[in-house]
Structure 1
């Protein structure tokens, strides 16, 4: 593996670093860029640049220019940019949906995304009852394995990625109901995919039950999750059925809102 050491003393992959540097040079120049320009800007051998560009072309991050030896940024970068734009716009696009869900269920509501192997809560709405659950705070959390919000985000990831995330961040035991075995978690995530929603029954907090649903982009990929949390004394079968139905409807509506985005 072609590793190198960065300014912080951490190991990085040299070929990946060079590929990204090539894309950055092309972005700065805009339009078409010659191989010679890229090679000179990065002080790289022209043959090395050419091989990396060919790889980027195979993945549609770069495309040929109008003449031999000239290149342009490719369409795959638009896909990545769209994903960033959609996530940035999610809180605004989700406001009406989350407000309605909060009003109908009268329970705490959350919107979260997955970034860098961590769950980030973007929006929360407190319950409308005097008796409320501790709905947590905006920001990062490593409790994906123990929360309905997190389980949805994990549910359609490859098994290898689930194992990597849980290995890197651990599976902290929050209550006696917390799942701390990755194989058991993977089995539960399979069940989550089949039924279309996730469950947290006192796994993150005692006396709190939470259900989660997916928000999908135009390709059907999960880009966010929404959840509703309720104290166990209100978690009757009838109330949970209402929460589940309204939550999944909200997930579908927000997915449509994302699909209607001009950037999507």
Structure 2
């Protein structure tokens, strides 16, 4: 939708994207269900959905609509464009295999954490997060590893834009407390999510830097609180630091 920073937009395009966002949450959904969410006339919603079907971005199954696999194709080409982080897929797969946990790589876009790669090991337990999932930076280890190493002015912009919403009782929702946490992350070189996004789930992540010392991604491991105790986190950190070192050497070599 439009805001104070938008100079000129096309409302019809905004509506189509809003419908796609609604489908992402409630698909499969019929026109009436979408209409209830978007609060527009049934005829308007039907016209937009029919156009999305015609263009191949939505599929109709009986009277229900779902997004098509064209989004998978689009996401794949976007991810391939990120040359500096393509090799992280190998490390994510290795980390999941070595540790048995859920491994992931993420980057920052528009002030949010975006999952680039994800792989589940044999002991994996946790949320089933899709590739490309966006989330606030301040409440996961992958996100905090990124946020801690962004320029101060960029961090301020992100907090001003997205705020510090609460995920659980452990989420950092005050700027000063978050600032202390990010300083601690910079000093120790890794970030920990202590049930700050989801109750019962912990994570640990390290930042990945390019040859100019800009943070471009993060690598992390996620699992249940019962298993992610201090000794296990120490063991996982060794795996992450090895992957981080190999990754940064490769980035510098190909830069």
- Bucket of the pairwise TM-score, normalised by the shorter protein: 0.5 to 0.7
Asked whether the equivalents of residues 107 and 126 of structure 1 are also in contact (C-alpha less than 8 Å), the reply is yes
TM-score (norm 2): 0.66
TM-score by length of 1: 0.64
- Change over 3 Å in CA distance of 1:7–1:93 after alignment to 2: same
**Partner of 1:187 in structure 2?**
180
Q: Does 1:170 align with 2:171?
A: no
Paired residue for 1:251? 244
Query: Structure 2 vs 1, CA of residues 5 and 99 (structure 1 numbering), >3 Å: closer, same or farther?
Result: closer
Distance 2:180 2:234 in 1: 23
Aligned length: 185
Q: Secondary structure at the match of 1:233?
A: coil
Partner secondary structure for residue 177 of structure 1: coil
Query: Is residue 147 of structure 1 aligned with residue 140 of structure 2?
Result: yes
Partner of 1:200: 193
2:87 partner SS: helix
What residue is the counterpart of 1:48 in the other structure?
Answer: none
User: Could you tell me which of 145, 156, 159 is aligned with 2:152?
Assistant: 159
* Structural RMSD (CA): 2.4
Q: Matched residues in 2 for 1:171 and 1:249: separation?
A: 32
1:134 and 1:90, CA in 2 relative to 1: closer, same or farther beyond 3 A? farther
Shift in alpha-carbon separation, 1:116–1:233, aligned structure 2, 3 A = same
Q: Which residue is 1:95 aligned to?
A: 89
Pair member with larger Rg: 1
Change beyond 3 A, Cα 1:253–1:208: same
Structure 1, unpaired ranges of 5+: 10-83
SS state of the match for residue 251, structure 2? Answer: helix
Q: Name 2:102's counterpart in structure 1.
A: 108
